C-alpha cells in the first residue's frame, strides 16, 4: 500500500518565489525512503506541506490512499504523521518522561501522574527498541539519546509515518549505527520513514528508495541499490561533484594561535573547559572533533570574543588576547564562520551587499569621511556573488530570502575576504547541500594554502578527516585525543574518542604541540 502520495504539488510564496513546481512524491508503507536535494531544491517546503506547516498552492495529497487536507501540525499528527526536526524541540530542564508526554500528560486528580508517564515511556521504549532513561533531565543527556526522545515523542502520539530531518547531523558513527538499527526495526514493523539527509553515504546505507529534487522539480525516484553516490549528487546538482576534495600537502609556518591551560566555568559552577592547550600554525587546518556539548561552542565563543570569564592564556601571534571583545578581535585579523548562520552569521533583513560589507563598511573604497558610496558597495557585492557562486537575482536581495546554502555562501564570502590571519570555521557546511559543501571545503583548502591558520570545528567526521592536517578530539571539556593526518584514522576510531571510550595520554598531546 502507498502510505504517501503527493501529486503535482505546487507552492508559490506571496513574494513570487516558486518552491515546488509540480512535485510528485510517493512512499510505500513500511519503507525507508530518502529525500535529497540541494538547499533551495524544495524538499523542506514539501515536508512542511506534508506536516501541515505550509499549505500547497495546488496539488493533491493522499495518506494511505485517501485524499487529505492537512491544515496544521496538529492535524498531521492526528493523521499519523510525525516529524523530528533537525534542531531538537525538547525542554532541557524537563525529564525524558515529561518531554515525551508533554501536551498529553496522564492525570491523577488535578496533577500529572508521573508514575504513569514513566510507564508510558518505558513501554514505548521497549516496544520500539529505543532505550531512554525516563527520569533523567534532558539537559544532562548526550545527543544520541535526545534523538531517540524526539522519535519516541512522535511514536507515542500514534505516528505511522515518520519524517526525519538530518537525523545524524550531530551523531557519532556509533550513535548513527544504533539509530539505523532502530529505524530498520521500525520499518520491519510497518513504520514508514522519510529520511532527509545530505550525507549520501548514509542515504545509501539506510534507504530502500531515494527521490531527488532539483530546482523545485522531481528528478526521479530510484531503488537506492541501483544508484551510486556520484549518480545521486549529479542528479541533485546537475553536474559532477567532487565528493573527495583534493588536498595538497600543507606548508605550515609560524604559530598563529596558542592556547594554554584554558579553563571555563559555567554560571551554575560546572566546569566546561578543563586545561585546554593546543597550537595552530599558519598554512594548516587544525580539526576539532567532538559530540556537541563537550566544550566546542564555549571554546569558539571565547576565541572570538563572544564569551568572557575564561582563565588561562590565548595568544595571537604572541599577543595575549584572552578577554578581548569580538570588535577588537576582528580588527586583529580573526575571521569567524559561526555555527548558526541565522542567529550569528547574518542580518536576515539586510541585503546581500550590506552583509558582505558589515565588517568593512567604514573603510575605503566603501566610505570616506562618514560618507558611504553605494555604487562601490554594489560593485563589490556583484563580484563576490560571482566569485562565490551565490544564487540570487540581485545584490539587494535580503539574505533571509536565500536558501540555507546560499546564505552560508554569503557568510563564507565575507569571512574569506576579510584578510584574516586566523579563520575559525564552526560547522561551516552544516545543513547545506552537496554542491555548496564541495565549494566551501575547496575554499577552506584554498585559504589554508594562502597561509591562513584555520581552526575547523565540525561534527561531520568525513569533513574533519578530509580537510584537517591535524586533529584534536574534545570530550567533557578536555582534549582527549591528538592525531596527525598521516595516522590512517577512521571515522569509527575517532568516534571512540568522541564518546570517551578511548583517550590519549596527556603527555602525547603536550608533546605534539610542544607545550
The count of residues in the chain is 515
Instruction: Calculate the alpha carbon distances from 459 to 287, 292, 426, 482, 502 in Å.
Output: 10, 7, 9, 16, 18
Which residue, among 104, 217, 218, 205, has the nearest Cα to 152 in the 3D structure? 104
Place of cell 569533513: 463
Write down the pLDDT at residue 505.
79
- Cell representation of residue 11: 507552492
pTM of the model: 0.74
Give tens-digit pLDDT for 241-270. 666 778 888 899 999 999 999 999 988 888
In contact, 388 and 435? CB cutoff 8 Å? no
- Cα–Cα distance for residue pair 504/515, rounded to 1 Å: 16
Write down the pLDDT at residue 456.
97
> Residues 6 or more apart from 192 whose CB is under 8 A from it?
3, 4, 27, 28, 29, 30, 31, 33, 160, 161, 162
Write down the pLDDT at residue 243.
65
Q: Are strands 66-68 and 478-484 parallel, antiparallel or unpaired?
A: unpaired
Q: pLDDT below 70 — which residues of the chain? A: 241-243, 486-487, 510, 514-515
Which residue, among 42, 438, 40, has the nearest Cα to 211 in the 3D structure? 42
> Residues 6 or more apart from 133 whose CB is under 8 A from it?
96, 141, 145
Give tens-digit pLDDT for 456-486. 999 888 889 999 999 999 999 999 999 987 6
In contact, 20 and 214? CB cutoff 8 Å? no
Write down the pLDDT at residue 254.
95
Amino acid at each position: 500500500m502507498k502510505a504517501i502520495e503527493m501529486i503535482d504539488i505546487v507552492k508559490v510564496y506571496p513574494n513570487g518565489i516558486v518552491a515546488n513546481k509540480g512535485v510528485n512524491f510517493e512512499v510505500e508503507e513500511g519503507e525507508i525512503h530518502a529525500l535529497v536535494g540541494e538547499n533551495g531544491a524544495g524538499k523542506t517546503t514539501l515536508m512542511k506541506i506534508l506536516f501541515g506547516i505550509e499549505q500547497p498552492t495546488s496539488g493533491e495529497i493522499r495518506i494511505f490512499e485517501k485524499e487529505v487536507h492537512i491544515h496544521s501540525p496538529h492535524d498531521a499528527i492526528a493523521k499519523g504523521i510525525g516529524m523530528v526536526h533537525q534542531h531538537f524541540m525538547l525542554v532541557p530542564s524537563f525529564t525524558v518522561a515529561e518531554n515525551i508526554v508533554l501536551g498529553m500528560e496522564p492525570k491523577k486528580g488535578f496533577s500529572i501522574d508521573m508514575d504513569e508517564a514513566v510507564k508510558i515511556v518505558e513501554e514505548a521504549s521497549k516496544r520500539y527498541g529505543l532505550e531512554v532513561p525516563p527520569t533523567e533531565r534532558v539537559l544532562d543527556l548526550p545527543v544520541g539519546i535526545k534523538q531517540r526522545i524526539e522519535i519516541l515523542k512522535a511514536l507515542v502520539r500514534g505516528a505511522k509515518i515518520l519524517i526525519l530531518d538530518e537525523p545524524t547531523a550531530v551523531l557519532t558513527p556509533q550513535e548513527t549505527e544504533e539509530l539505523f538499527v532502530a529505524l530498520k526495526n521500525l520499518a520491519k514493523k510497518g513504520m514508514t520513514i522519510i529520511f532527509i539527509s545530505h550525507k549520501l553515504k548514509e542515504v545509501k546505507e539506510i534507504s530502500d528508495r531515494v527521490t531527488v529534487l532539483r530546482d523545485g522539480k522531481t528528478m526521479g525516484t530510484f531503488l537506492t541499490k541501483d544508484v551510486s553516490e556520484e549518480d545521486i549528487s549529479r542528479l541533485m546538482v546537475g553536474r559532477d561533484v567532487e565528493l573527495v576534495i583534493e588536498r595538497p600537502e600543507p606548508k605550515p609556518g609560524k604559530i598563529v594561535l596558542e592556547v594554554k591551560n584554558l579553563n571555563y566555568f559555567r554560571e551554575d559552577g560546572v566546569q566546561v573547559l578543563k586545561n585546554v592547550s593546543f597550537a595552530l600554525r599558519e598554512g594548516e587546518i587544525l580539526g576539532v572533533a567532538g559530540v556537541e556539548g563537550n566544550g566546542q561552542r564555549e571554546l569558539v565563543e571565547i576565541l572570538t570574543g563572544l564569551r568572557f570569564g575564561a582563565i588561562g592564556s590565548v595568544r595571537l601571534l604572541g599577543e595575549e588576547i584572552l578577554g578581548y571583545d569580538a570588535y577588537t578581535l576582528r580588527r586583529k585579523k580573526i575571521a569567524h564562520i559561526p555555527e548558526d548562520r541565522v542567529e550569528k552569521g547574518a542580518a536576515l533583513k539586510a541585503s546581500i551587499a550590506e552583509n558582505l560589507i558589515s565588517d568593512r563598511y567604514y573603510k575605503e573604497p566603501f566610505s570616506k569621511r562618514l560618507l558611504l558610496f553605494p555604487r562601490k558597495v554594489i560593485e563589490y557585492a556583484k563580484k563576490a556573488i560571482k566569485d562565490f557562486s551565490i544564487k540570487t537575482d540581485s545584490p539587494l536581495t535580503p539574505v533571509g530570502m536565500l536558501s540555507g546554502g546560499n546564505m552560508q555562501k554569503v557568510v563564507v564570502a565575507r569571512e574569506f575576504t576579510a584578510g584574516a590571519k586566523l579563520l575559525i570555521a564552526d560547522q561551516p557546511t552544516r545543513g547545506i547541500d552537496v554542491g555548496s559543501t564541495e565549494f566551501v571545503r575547496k575554499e577552506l583548502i584554498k585559504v589554508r594554502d594562502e597561509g591562513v591558520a584555520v581552526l575547523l570545528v565540525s561534527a561531520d567526521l568525513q569533513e574533519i578527516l578530509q580537510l584537517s592536517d591535524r586533529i584534536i578530539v574534545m570530550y567533557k571539556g578536555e582534549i582527549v585525543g591528538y592525531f596527525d593526518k598521516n595516522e590512517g584514522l577512521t571515522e569509527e576510531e575517532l568516534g571512540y574518542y568522541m564518546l570517551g571510550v578511548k583517550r590519549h595520554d596527556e603527555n602525547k598531546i603536550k608533546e605534539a604541540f610542544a607545550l
